[in-house]
Structure 1
């Protein structure tokens, strides 16, 4: 519009600025900046106080230390028309239009700015409603499956571990389970989505007096508790803390009670406070059913006094040992928020001394993606363990996804390695997954053609397949698109240097090859938040 020099949008929680997006006349390319910085009263003063209304200010009257004001000043704006709107979870947004003078802020500009604000409010309500519906659907399905597993087995350690593998990425970022013993509350299991924060969470669970006091309050009251923002002060969590605890926005604690007895507590950590509110009833149900299963198992196993549960993620804890092969794997989390990726991999030993490797990726992030990741990996593994062919396993997974009625698709790659004289015979089947690579012993790298249809989209699908020989010293490299789509600051994709990276990182020890390749991707990546999964198998050189 005539006279408009800059448009700035900001998103807030009280005085905490989350991000800023701007476009100026001098720089028409949209700019996006993340802050997560608390500006106190200066920031909170702009929060909406009712229905959206347009106000006009002189830029000189505004706080020049605020990032949005700095953008307007740099653009040469002297006046600004502003409209603030409330958002879900207590947040709010501000839309500011900087103009050369007040005369440019006419009735048309005011109307359009207010329309933008109203569209934002409606969009936010729809997003929140859809998110709540998705979370409810996933929570109901998850709770039903957890109950079936607990009822079907008296081995509580095993069943709770299975539940936790999905619960930690699907519901919260971290989890701690304490049991009440003669000496008091004892942490028996802790898990975090980020492996780097696992040790920290374990120390907090065992030693932190603030958390211990909170847990005892829950035990004494018999009621669940949710703490957020300033309620986290004094403990190892929240913005005022240091290290990994700064990312925690909310904490929920539920008592474990069964047959009138207090057994312990179930604690979840959240990076997004609204997730704790939405999951409170679900977690209370989960805690009650888990407590009943623990108590019931004690009647059959007197020696089993606690449950070791809560695995970090939906990946195998370790890879099998296969004669003649060295397997290595790596997983790098791209976005430590509520929004998880769907990468997975596994290795299933074969009856003929070989192994079947599988790797896949569920479209998108979040609770539904995490639930489908578990479905995909366990469906493929179970069928392959039962001796079904890769084509049959992929077809059954496609049918299962179709029954779920999800809008998400899945890519998958299955590779079978069977001993064949010197080396292994490799046969592979691809369902829309990135093509694997073979690093030969001399350092050359070959791409194995792989196409195929995506899973969960069509009723009848075709697979890309092929075969080759893996000689001693050769390495099969399988990966997800987080590797190829990692982008440097200059916009270059890692795919352009993938072969060279495989050649270089594959020159070292076989056992750490996958980790070295994943580290190379992380060092290269400047933008993008997709998870990275790498699975490699090197044929050992003998004699």
Structure 2
């Protein structure tokens, strides 16, 4: 065999703790692409030795395929000259201040030049694996992953692919997706595979599918068997295809596991969020009310915004709208504490200010787990000719009252937010809602909605929006505010949103 250069694959790295494992991973992918897996351990050991000698800074790793041998070069930039490595087929070369350490490994029996050229033509197998990883990382929907797996494999590695999944580790396999290079044959293939019982093997294995050479590759991630990737073709599977499929199956399994974990977490978040809000929108006799709650983000992570509206006694109701700092379990813990404390103390006869004061102490007693909370809490008494409200605004965006004349005014003076000052004292203020009057409470997902440098509430933006809502029902007011928040900027909101509207009939 001649030592004519047939292919080069290169990547850049930074010296440090992660350099060696990253270079070893790159080396594995290179030898997979060149179907030289029998040399992976030796190649990784040589690569580790060369990279370990890189002191600081960035460096480039180049693998060269020379037909009968592989050569690795580790090029350092701007390093002082030193003695070359004294070992057969090793060396150090210099160009100016650049130093390149290199080593050569003979291929067992050599590899035909035509075969090398075929394997690295176009994007090559390394590019195929990189593209496959990108596609798999592009979805977190567990129902989509089997379809992506099948369409990655066909027709590059096989004539058809069937993906089986197991609901639980070690559980029975169910056919999730089938894809054939000839789409007209997909249904017939699915019917045939439905009649077969696929083995739950731990290693790649040949499968008995009539008329096909078929291989099954287990989808195992983090010690859990999630399913099986079954490939079929008319001719035998070349060794490099087997190796690629095995590598790909590990990536597919990890993508499927990540998607399942994501879906489970999203479902848990939604269940937790529902537990922190009223089961259904409350209806108060003699009061026109509406609430809107929208969590931010695609994952619907448990947010810190909440609302409540509940009866205390005949003709007397309490309401609350609040915002806990942050999101996730810690915020949810404070949200749950606030909602249950408000209800419990209100029904035990504590006034609005006393309830807020005791909630402040309860949050402080949470210690390091505590999160500060802004809260608008009030009591509604149905009275002849309107609504009598006692209100505390604890560090919360200001509550607004809309008169039938179109006048908008702030009600309730700002007081200390909760969970910060042990000595904080609170006082309830009286607010009267006559016929047609509207009381609006929102969280900062409304007031701080951002479009570039501007906020929605700049220059009393929220008050101006509310002034346009004369003669609208509570539901119509809430929807008008929600749409304004949505339309204020083209990008989705990054904060939760809660809106509470009370209107005296």
- State the structure with more CA Rg: 2
TM-score, length of structure 2 as denominator length: 0.49
Q: Give 1 or 2: higher helix fraction.
A: 1
